[in-house]
Homo-oligomer: A and B are copies of this chain.
Amino acid sequence: MANKEIPYKIYLEEDEMPKAWYNLRADMKVKPAPLLNPATHEPASIDMLSQVFCRELAEQELNVTDAYIEIPEEIRSFYKMYRPSPLVRAYCLEKKLGTPAKIYYKFEGNNTSGSHKLNSAIAQAYYAKKQGLKGVTTETGAGQWGTALSMACSYFDLDCKVYMVKVSYEQKPFRREVMRTYGADVTPSPSMTTEVGKKILEAHPGTTGSLGCAISEAVEYAVSHEGYRYVLGSVLNQVLLHQSVIGLETQTALKKYDIKPDIIIGCAGGGSNLGGLISPFAGEVLRGEADYKFIAVEPASCPSLTRGKYAYDFCDTGMICPLAKMYTLGSNYIPAPNHAGGLRYHGMSTVLSELHDQGILDAVSYKQTEVFEAAEMFARVEGILPAPESSHAIKGAIEQALRCKETGEEKTIVFGLTGTGYFDLAGYAKYNDGELENYVPTDEELAESLAKLPKMD
């Protein structure tokens, strides 16, 4: 009866939008392991991080005590241009699957960056502007983060220098054009514009690039140019903090309609969306107020949580960033170039890694053809063409819903639909043509990559 009244899309009012981000680390009894200086293996200090990041973002990065951090007014205004994002009841998908499960998705794709990445991009650009910087540098893989940052920098009139993983740069020429329209400077990575890029090109002339490598280039540019800092779209604590806006809105929307989720699912590359979505709910679990099943869905070709090792590793191929303790495949792991499904980072957010280690967060992986199958089905019944990244969560939700069909359980499933696939049509074309191949690394490949983890004391 109550369900009868649930609309297809739940939109919050503007005054119901969060006024503070939620910092899950404050509620974690066992905190994520600290970032370490790569040279000394000492915990990274604010001063050290401030050479790479804006000061205030470095503070957020290390803040494990404040549960709430106020969202500055300027950022809240920007959020209002494209948020609140809808929490959608997937009536048509439920019907198609014939499941008694109730499926909801938090849709973050209704903005020009096409994804949730804008939530953190605008925050990071704001703090850069506030600090009086000239500009910021970053890397981008699928291009969602680069686009988001371009939009944010354009809004605050900051220079924006983007290193784009070469394979994406070539597969997604129109992504670059969007970034240019927003005034960004886009360079395919690895490039000859940095020392680390030159080294990598020398060692691997035919490389299609990797996020880890693009990060190294962006960091090098930032630390070697006055008035620049580096910003990152995932993995970091600060990013998960900003992305908590997704989970907070979801929580408010569910409460508004008296809906209690059983399972919360997100795709996971570096963990920004999943971390943001589950943060407030994981907080409830950690405080003993509720119980939810959390599932991270990752690609079988880049399975950091499901097949990686929980250890200190470099965040970038160039080994110039702080060390982070995370589930990792090794910082020089690169998924095969036929991988079109995004989520290609070698490691996982330290917060999510710790939650996984504590048994609070489950993880599964799927091959890309089954992910694209789920994407196509979803597009046809729900009308939204999803990003390949987001489609991992769709696949995960469908699997859970089909289990409910078997057992007859009326579980409530919430998943994060991070974005749209309008710039991923090269991948869809391959899928439509039956040319999409699956890649799953062998145990030997992973062992080889993991053998190069930094030696810790």
Point out residues on A near B: beta carbons under 8 Å: 7-9, 11, 13-14, 78, 80-82, 92, 110-112, 114, 151, 154-155, 173-174, 177-178, 180-183, 376, 379-385, 420, 422-423, 425-426, 428-429, 432
Contact = CB atoms under 8 A, between A and B. Distances in A.
Given A181-B376, A380-B155, A80 B432 contact: no
Nearest to A376: B181
Most buried by B among A8, A81, A183, A376: A81
Contacts of A376: 181
Nearest to A12: B11
Contacts of A422: 112, 114, 174, 178, 422-423
A181 B13 contact: no
Contacts of A110: 110
Nearest to A429: B177
Closest 4 CB pairs of A and B: A174-B425, A8-B80, A177-B425, A422-B422
Contacts of A178: 385, 422, 425, 428
Contacts of A112: 379, 383-385, 420, 422
Given A177-B428, A429-B177, A81 B155 contact: no
Contacts of A151: 380, 383
Contact of A181 (B114, B155, B432): B432
A182 B377 CA distance: 9
Given A151-B383, A181-B379, A182-B379, 8 more contacts: A78-B383, A81-B383, A112-B420, A151-B380, A173-B425, A180-B432, A181-B376, A182-B380
Nearest to A386: B112
Scoring A173, A181, A379 by chain B CB atoms within 10 A of each residue's CB, the highest score goes to A181
A9 B174 CA distance: 28
B181 A428 contact: yes
22 contacts: A7-B14, A8-B80, A8-B81, A9-B14, A9-B80, A78-B383, A81-B92, A81-B382, A82-B383, A112-B379, A151-B383, A154-B380, A155-B381, A173-B425, A174-B174, A174-B425, A174-B429, A177-B425, A177-B428, A180-B428, A181-B428, A422-B422
A370 to B, nearest CB: 16
Nearest to A107: B110
Contacts of A423: 422
Contacts of A420: 112
A402 to B, nearest CB: 21
Chain B CB within 10 Å, residue with most, of A80, A82, A180, A425: A425
A150 to B, nearest CB: 10
Contacts of A155: 380-381, 383
A133 to B, nearest CB: 19
A175 to B, nearest CB: 8
Nearest to A82: B383
B111 A384 contact: yes
